[in-house]
Structure 1
């Protein structure tokens, strides 16, 4: 059986097709397929937004554990209802629009920041048949949608008519340019191993055994690339030591300084959705996607992205922030050179062994 067949066998029918068959929408032709796709996308979006809501509570508990403090414990069991309380509190606040803002760009920026990450989940195979689309350029699509958040950060910083916001937007551009290139180059080394940009093919290429019970996940095949990608992903999602665009001790809150109420919620939500998207990409291209014993694929997929989230929270609590000049130097002189060396070495190894 081919690797592609193995993935199809493990993941089942594509999610929109499954929905179409269950609800009998396939008999309505293209409108039925469109409706099934909308239902599937709504389910995936709701799943990720629910995870994000829980992670905002978990962030407080985890950070408190790292720093030996007592976290929220008064609103519901273990403070779990703080999710609802925060939502009501923030959404009921007045939306304050500062004077002199570029209103169309200022309004659109939070929507772009929050929505771009959700688009990336369209091609991520989550297991248990939850896979909305599987284009041949799936990995390129994910990188493209994730990088669109930079547009929102720049718009927010420029349109706010605030020098701290403007500095945060400029820092976001500098940071993303310095780290997205190493991120993509490191991802390209995985593409060389798998021989495809298609997400299902990348997952399928990791299904074999490497040594004994050890799976051939690319985190084990090429741990150097895995470490590079994890570091670059920290910069991509703006976690310590790379939270320069919103550094509170230097520029108040950077690009989000002038936002309040629902706009602040969208920006805050977008930050955590991007962390989960980064975790989903890492799980897919380095950790075998939804593969794992006993438990359903979707459970393993969520465990892996939560593992990446825990790593980002450890970095947030334990690693001090670098200066902007250090950040740029690490990106251009360190990460870029190492990612190019990794790409070249991977090409040589694959060329010799295949």
Structure 2
């Protein structure tokens, strides 16, 4: 069956436009590589802007300070300047580290976030893969980052790094379960794990006000689940009040204390890639994905994930850090209970009123 143009996956579209499809499996591989290259560079470009420049500008605006404004217009040239500065620094390997675990950890942290975008529908035909279990795939891939954080902490041969790695594992376990359970409530509404179908269901009108149709975004349908997911997502991406694994005033910089140069760049890049991946998941599950009026889908998708990035930076500036014992208690005694309550309530509503 031939899919409508908007549902054709990016590798297939590239294969058709370039004629690579006629070369069989090799052509399909090259088309898939080119599609992955496009998506990877889009995410890397946004993370490159977010880390050295946008993060500082947003934090300065929230805290009434002046951020970077000397290097280039609006300080934008700080982006290449910071990249050159960090990559030019000497890569220092402390004594007693566990290699190759020390070397692999930054790669795992960055690549796990990058791989997650493979199944995210970004609109305008930018969608790399659309498996029927897409939601499971993206959570499975994103959770690999926990392994990288724990490995970085253990392999660094530093007690503060080790504490940061242990905190990261404890935090991710405590908040990944509420995150997945809350996402399961969306699956109950949508009746599918396929990311494109979850987006398509939200395109249906929920109700109309003065002739304007309000879409069935699950943020409107189930705002309680949306708030739960956003809170758990803050913990997953390590933003206040849940930035305990890095906690500079307590454990130097946690799991990344002993990393420098290109390794530090990979960890720092992975942090922002995970923030955007979290925003992409929130957008897909609760905000209609790339849907929106007038503008192309990819533009709406980028606007939405940047809005979520703005929220995480507001949280970083406005909310105080909780203690590690408070963090675990909030996760296991608060978020977990609320997420299961939301799941049960959703199942009752769908079973009784919708089915």
Tell me the TM-score normalised to structure 1 length.
Answer: 0.97
Rounded Cα–Cα distance in structure 2 between residues aligned with 1:95 and 1:317? 31
Q: What residue in structure 2 maps to residue 32 of structure 1?
A: 27
Is residue 2:146 matched to residue 1:157? no
1:73-103 alpha-carbon deviations (Å, 9 max, x no partner): 0100000000000000000000000000001
Structure 1 residue corresponding to 2:17, chosen from 17, 22, 33: 22
CA distance in 2, matches of 1:204, 1:73: 42
Describe the SS at the equivalent of 2:293: coil
The aligned counterpart of 1:247 is 247
What is the rounded CA distance, in whole Å, between the counterparts of 1:68 and 1:11 in structure 2? 44
Q: In 2, Cα distance between the equivalents of 1:105 and 1:12?
A: 41
Matches within 5 A, 1:34-53: 34-53=29-48
Question: Which of 91, 98, 101 is the matching residue for 2:97?
Answer: 101
| Structure 1 residue 10 displacement after superposition | 7.0
Structure 2 match to 1:232: 232
- Is structure 2 residue 82 aligned with structure 1 residue 86? yes
1:210 matched to 2:191? The reply is: no
* Matches of 1:129 and 1:16, distance apart in 2: 10
Equivalent residues, number: 348
Structure 2 CA distance for aligned equivalents of residues 204 and 69 of structure 1: 43
Aligned to 1:269: 269
CA distance in 1, matches of 2:70, 2:101: 39
Residues 81-230 of structure 1: pairs in structure 2 closer than 5 A: 81-212=77-208, 213-230=213-230
The separation in 1 between residues aligned to 2:155 and 2:67, in whole angstroms, is 36
**Secondary structure of the structure 2 residue equivalent to 1:29:** helix
Matched, 1:348 2:343: no
Matched, 1:316 2:295: no
**Which consecutive residues of structure 2, in runs of 5 or more, have no partner in the other structure?**
none
SS of the equivalent of 1:214 reads strand
Residue 13 of structure 1 deviates from its aligned partner by 1.9
Match of 1:299 in 2: 299
Secondary structure of 2:206's aligned partner: strand
Aligned-partner Cα distance in 1 for 2:5–2:146: 35
- 3-state DSSP of counterpart to 2:123: coil
- Conserved in 2, the CA contact under 8 Å of 1:11 and 1:130? no
Q: Distance in 2 between matches of 1:145 and 1:157?
A: 20
| TM-superposed deviation, 1:12 | 4.1
Gaps of 5+ in 1: none
Q: Per-residue displacement from partner, 1:149-173 (whole Å, max 9, x unpaired)?
A: 0000000000000000000000001
Which secondary structure does the structure 2 equivalent of 1:344 belong to?
helix
How many Å apart are 1:11 and its aligned residue? 2.5
Separation in 1, partners of 2:109, 2:6: 30
Q: Which of 70, 73, 77 is equivalent to 1:74?
A: 70
Cα separation, 1, equivalents of 2:263 and 2:249: 22
For residue 265 of structure 1, report the CA deviation from its aligned partner: 0.2
CA root-mean-square deviation: 0.9
> More displaced, 53-62 or 223-232?
53-62
Q: Deviation at 1:270?
A: 0.1
